[in-house]
């Protein structure tokens, strides 16, 4: 028996060596990046995240949203970013897309508390005004712009542009209200609920436009996304209370990515699945507070996405025609949102001053609009020129909000 034992023992090192070689081969497959390219990727990630935070902090000190600085940072670094190796640039884009998915999941979860029956009933008329009027004016504008800026056809283009005019940036709106101690006021709750209605309508229309590009059958997996997001609701009594915060964060991030993967596989944009999964989970498992758990993770990566949004802005193509389009887009956006919101608020029984405050708040486009138009560009619904026009519109309408609110406040105080 000893020879057999000796033979087995002699094979043990070989088996260990074989396992070691297999492990090394696996690690080799995972790390085939040339060292120089990997170094460039990590350095670019460090520089872009650092510059984005710095630019955001500067614009925040000036009383504007941080995203404005992040977009301008992207515009500034665009020439240098074109020198990145193709694989590094692709990887940065993938990381930025993950930041977008998590950001929109958190935004959807943040909307959920505003979509209760009681709140919706109290703001139905103002919300309809702030949603339907921009949609109608946006559709008319789109028919005029379609000849020059609709690479995928008039139908999806009209739906997308109309939806883009109806967007209100709820995250930026909530921040503005918090800074002015209006978050828990009647005016603040009214604006948040109406913004939720407008944004859910806009994102639903975006899904319709995306489905139209790939055939209407592409919308069939959407119920699967809802079912996937509703799984925690079916089992919340059993496991929610036992989850630690890190575990809950992992579960929510996994669900956001799964929902995004389903809509991406369906030919829609991954952000659509992430957004609606956030809305459903915000309702289904409020004890987890999905928005609060996922927002810190999204905040780490989302600035990279907004830098890339700025990088896609091409100011070199600015000419008389594009300047006219920018003016038209901005005018319709402000007239539709402010006019529709004011009209709806007045029909809903609000006094002129309160209706004015509501209109100014609903005109906040901010981050949500920027994400929206970037998705439209990625889907091929709009071209680069109109993308630039709509980014300028989003930044301008967001920058208007603070000064206009201050002016209305002074008028009320008689200053």
Is the pLDDT reported for residue 23 higher than 90? no
**How deeply is 117 buried, as exposed, middle or buried, from its count of CB atoms within 10 A (0-12, 13-18, 19+)?**
exposed
Report how far residue 384's alpha carbon sits from residue 388's, in angstroms, rounded to the nearest whole number: 6
Most confident of 182-191, 225-234, 386-395: 386-395
What's the CATH code of the domain at 165?
1.20.1530.20
163 contacts 357 by C-beta, under 8 angstroms? no
Query: And the tokens for 304?
Result: 């990279």
Domain count for the chain, please give it. 1
Is 6 part of any domain? no
Is the pLDDT reported for residue 73 higher than 70? yes
Residue carrying structure tokens 């005018």: 331
pLDDT tier, 4 (very low <50, low <70, confident <90, very high otherwise):
very low
Report how far residue 383's alpha carbon sits from residue 363's, in angstroms, rounded to the nearest whole number: 24
Is 364 part of any domain? yes
Is the pLDDT reported for residue 17 higher than 50? no
Query: And the tokens for 198?
Result: 């407008």
> Quick one: pLDDT at residue 137?
95
Is the pLDDT reported for residue 347 higher than 50? yes
* pLDDT 10s digits, 145-156: 998 898 988 989
Query: And the tokens for 393?
Result: 């519109």
Closest CA to 104 of 308, 288, 276: 276
Is 18 part of any domain? no
Is the pLDDT reported for residue 346 higher than 80? yes
* pLDDT 10s digits, 206-242: 888 887 776 655 455 555 555 555 555 554 545 665 7
pLDDT, greater one: 328 or 229: 328
Is 4 part of any domain? no
259 contacts 229 by C-beta, under 8 angstroms? yes
Is 34 part of any domain? no
> Quick one: pLDDT at residue 303?
82
**Inter-helix orientation angle 366-379/290-311, to 10°:** 60
- CA 131 remoteness from chain centre: 19
Least confident of 31-45, 48-62, 228-242: 228-242
Half-sphere exposure of 296 (CA within 13 A, CB side): 7
Is 186 part of any domain? yes
Report how far residue 274's alpha carbon sits from residue 287's, in angstroms, rounded to the nearest whole number: 19
> Quick one: pLDDT at residue 330?
93
> Quick one: pLDDT at residue 133?
95
391 contacts 372 by C-beta, under 8 angstroms? no
Closest CA to 243 of 252, 256, 230, 234: 252
Half-sphere exposure of 356 (CA within 13 A, CB side): 12
State the Cα angle at 255 between 252 and 261, rounded to 5°: 145
> Quick one: pLDDT at residue 27?
42
Least confident of 55-59, 70-74, 85-89, 168-172: 168-172
pLDDT tier, 331 (very low <50, low <70, confident <90, very high otherwise):
very high
Is 250 part of any domain? yes
Residue 46, number of CB atoms within 10 A of its CB: 10
Is 21 part of any domain? no
Q: Domain of 172?
A: 39-413
Mapping DSSP onto H, E and C, the string for the chain reads CHHHHHHHHHHHHHHHHHHHHHHHHHHHHHCCCCHHHHHHHHHHHHHHHHHHHHHHHHHHHCCCCHHHHHHHHHHHHHHHHCCCCHHHHHHHHHHHHHHHHHHHHHHHHHHHHHHCHHHHHHCHHHHHHHHHHHHHHHHHHHHHHHHHHCCCCHHHHHHHHHHHHHCCCHHHHHHHHHHCCCCCCHHHHHHHHHHHHHHHHHHHHHHHHHHHHCCHHHHCCHHHHHHHHHHHHHHHHHHHHHCCHHHHHHHHHHHHHHHHHHHHHCCCCHHHHHHHHHHHHHHHCHHHCHHHHHHHHHHHHHHHHHHHHHHCCCHHHCCHHHHHHHHHHHHHHHHHHHHHHHHHHHHCCCCHHHHHHHHHHHCCCHHHHHHHHHHHHHHCCCCHHHHHHHHHHHHHHHHHHHHHHHHHHHHHHCC
> Quick one: pLDDT at residue 40?
84
Is the pLDDT reported for residue 389 higher than 70? yes
């Amino acid at each position: 028996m000893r020879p057999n034992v000796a033979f087995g023992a002699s094979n043990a090192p070989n088996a260990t060596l074989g396992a070691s070689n297999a492990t090394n081969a696996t690690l080799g497959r995972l790390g085939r990046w040339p060292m120089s390219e990997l170094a460039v990727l990590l350095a670019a990630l460090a520089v872009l995240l650092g510059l984005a935070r710095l630019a955001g902090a500067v614009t925040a000190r000036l009383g504007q949203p941080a995203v404005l600085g992040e977009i301008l940072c992207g515009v500034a670094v665009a020439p240098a970013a074109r020198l990145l190796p193709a694989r590094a640039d692709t990887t940065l884009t993938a990381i930025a897309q993950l930041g977008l998915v998590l950001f929109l999941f958190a935004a959807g979860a943040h909307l959920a508390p505003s979509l209760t029956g009681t709140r919706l009933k109290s703001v139905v008329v103002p919300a309809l005004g702030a949603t339907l009027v921009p949609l109608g004016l946006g559709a008319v504008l789109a028919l005029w712009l379609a000849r020059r800026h609709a690479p995928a056809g008039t139908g999806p283009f009209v739906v997308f542009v109309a939806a883009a005019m109806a967007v209100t940036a709820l995250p930026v709106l909530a921040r503005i209200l918090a800074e002015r101690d209006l978050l828990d006021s009647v005016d603040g709750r009214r604006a948040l609920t109406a913004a939720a209605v407008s944004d859910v309508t806009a994102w639903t229309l975006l899904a319709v436009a995306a489905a139209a590009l790939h055939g209407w059958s592409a919308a069939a997996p959407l119920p699967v996304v809802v079912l996937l997001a509703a799984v925690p609701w079916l089992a919340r009594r059993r496991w929610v209370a036992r989850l630690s915060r890190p575990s809950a964060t992992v579960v929510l991030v996994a669900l956001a990515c799964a929902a995004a993967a389903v809509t991406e596989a369906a030919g829609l944009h991954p952000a659509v699945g992430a957004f609606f999964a956030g809305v459903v989970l915000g309702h289904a498992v409020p004890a987890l507070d999905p928005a609060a758990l996922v927002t810190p993770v999204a905040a780490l990566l989302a600035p990279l996405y907004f830098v890339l949004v700025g990088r896609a802005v091409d100011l070199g193509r600015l000419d008389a025609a594009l300047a006219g389009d920018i003016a038209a887009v901005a005018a319709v956006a402000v007239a539709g949102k402010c006019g529709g919101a004011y009209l709806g608020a007045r029909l809903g029984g609000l006094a002129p001053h309160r209706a004015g405050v509501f209109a100014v708040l609903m005109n906040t486009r901010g981050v949500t609009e920027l994400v929206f138009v970037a998705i439209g560009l990625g889907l091929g619904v709009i071209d680069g020129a109109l993308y630039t026009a709509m980014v300028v519109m989003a930044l301008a309408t967001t920058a208007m909000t603070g000064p206009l609110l201050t002016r209305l406040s002074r008028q009320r105080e008689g200053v």
